[in-house]
Amino acid sequence: MSETALTPGIVAGRLSAPAYDENFGDLHPRLDEHEALVAADRCYFCHDAPCITACPTGIDIPLFIRQIATGTPEAAAETILSQNILGGMCARVCPTETLCEEACVREAAEGKPVLIGQLQRYATDTLMEAGTHPFTRAAPTGKRIAVVGAGPAGLACAHRLAMKGHEVTIFDGRDKPGGLNEYGIAAYKAVDDFAEREVDWLLKIGGIRIETGKRLGRDMTLAEVAGDHDAVFLGIGLGGVNALSLEGEDKDGIRDAVDFIAELRQASDLTALPIGRDVVVIGGGMTAVDAAVQAKLLGALNVSLVYRRGRERMNASVFEQDLAASKGVRIITNAQPVAIHGNGAVREVEFEYTDDNLKPTGQTFRLAADQVFKAIGQTLDASAALPALEGRKIRVTGAGRTSSEGIWAGGDCATGGDDLTVTAVAEGRDAAEDIHASLMG
């Protein structure tokens, strides 16, 4: 029996088609030329710019903004992309309010930073729409390198290796490349199939072949991949999802938030996507916020996001929290789930309040729910034999070197990062440089 048959509150088409178009429009529409020039004019072009230090990929932000100000956005894009080949997507999804813009001197002086993220999008969009690719391949090296995972880390690694003259094959278990950018972020952050278009643009460097539907541990082993190539980079992300470990977690109407987001991102018709009337999201990170906001935008009447710690401990930025609240999401903190109620399908979720140390207080409450999304963190998929782990991730040293000779790793699957797209790009890029030095040194 289908989920919707057991849970009649989960239905499709709660809103009109125009309402879906409006709700899932571009969160930050691109600046036009005049707006970009005005925004660029606010930059002080600091000599020792703190925004550069705050950027995980180390983009020369004052330089690219000066290039926009002088009417050369394509040159600005090249400055950006030389450090962050996925600069277009990062301009859309990076929490700039806690990175470069928080460090901006204008933010410290006036409480209003330069619009670095939007200026970055203006520049990269201008270049991509021109259809040009500003980078060329070096002479062939004869080396063959495998990149496992077509997400931000893998794509950044592959592009840099291709630039060095290596032949790269990317393996990915899904039907489309892009990883998190394609499947894991809110639809309103990257409209008009941008993730797919960015991958197509990146591949213009040449020397990169992508094989989809090839999952490590299912379709191939790491030993097989390593045996066929001179080096391997693992950018496999975190494919496992943590469980609530509560009785009744298998009831109809309960699912992982990442699956909901992926389904929404790939949906060709949002009017056909079922959503509940009373939706509860459990978690406090970006995935939780993305799921909660999109549930509301799909037409859910009541959406509650419940997090076990205080609001200041949420991994989602203040901007994301405020965005959720502005869309009508109710945020409840210092509460953890203790029971799921319902006969076959979820009807209520029972929570218990916690103190700042996660100690239960004994006070409980219930929320009506016909749909529950779990967003309590992801973990490494252990179905494949991997290099040595540290906790729940692959242990790396330096620029992504693992315990296994000839194998590097980066992005969410490796230790040391902060699970951001921009950090994954930096780690993939730096691993590529280290792989190149190791193979050619």
Cα dist. 335→305, 331, 419 in Å? Answer: 10, 11, 24
Question: Which pLDDT tens digit goes with each residue over 133-165?
Answer: 999 999 999 999 999 999 999 999 999 999 999
Paired strand residues for 169: 146, 209
Same fold, 33-129 and 144-239+380-440: no
Q: State the CATH class of domain 33-129.
A: mainly alpha
Average pLDDT on 290-316 reads 97
Q: Where are the domains of the chain?
A: 3-25+241-377, 33-129, 144-239+380-440
pTM attached to this predicted model: 0.95
pLDDT at 391 over 80: yes
Q: Give the contacts of 410 (CB within 8 A, at least 6 positions apart).
A: 153, 157, 233, 234, 235, 396, 400, 417, 424, 427, 428, 430, 431
Query: Which CATH code is given to the segment(s) 3-25+241-377?
Result: 3.50.50.60
Please, are residues 402 and 409 in contact by the beta-carbon 8 Å criterion? yes
Q: How many H-runs (helices) and E-runs (strands) does the chain carry?
A: 18, 17
Please, are residues 417 and 424 in contact by the beta-carbon 8 Å criterion? yes
pLDDT tier at 5 (50, 70, 90 boundaries)? very low
Residue 272, SS3?
Answer: helix
Sequence-ordered strand ranges (E) for 113-267: 144-148, 167-172, 208-212, 231-234, 240-241, 254-256
Please, are residues 355 and 262 in contact by the beta-carbon 8 Å criterion? no
At the second CATH level, the architecture of 144-239+380-440 is 3-Layer(bba) Sandwich (3.50)
pLDDT at 2 over 70: no
pLDDT tier at 6 (50, 70, 90 boundaries)? very low
88 closest CA partner among 175, 174, 190: 190
Question: Which pLDDT tens digit goes with each residue over 365-390?
Answer: 999 999 999 999 999 987 788 999 99
Q: What is the pLDDT of residue 416?
A: 83
pLDDT tier at 7 (50, 70, 90 boundaries)? low
Q: What's the rounded Cα separation, in Å, for the pair 344 and 402?
A: 45
Q: What's the rounded Cα separation, in Å, for the pair 370 and 345?
A: 7
Q: What percent of the chain has pLDDT over 90?
A: 93
Average pLDDT on 215-233 reads 96
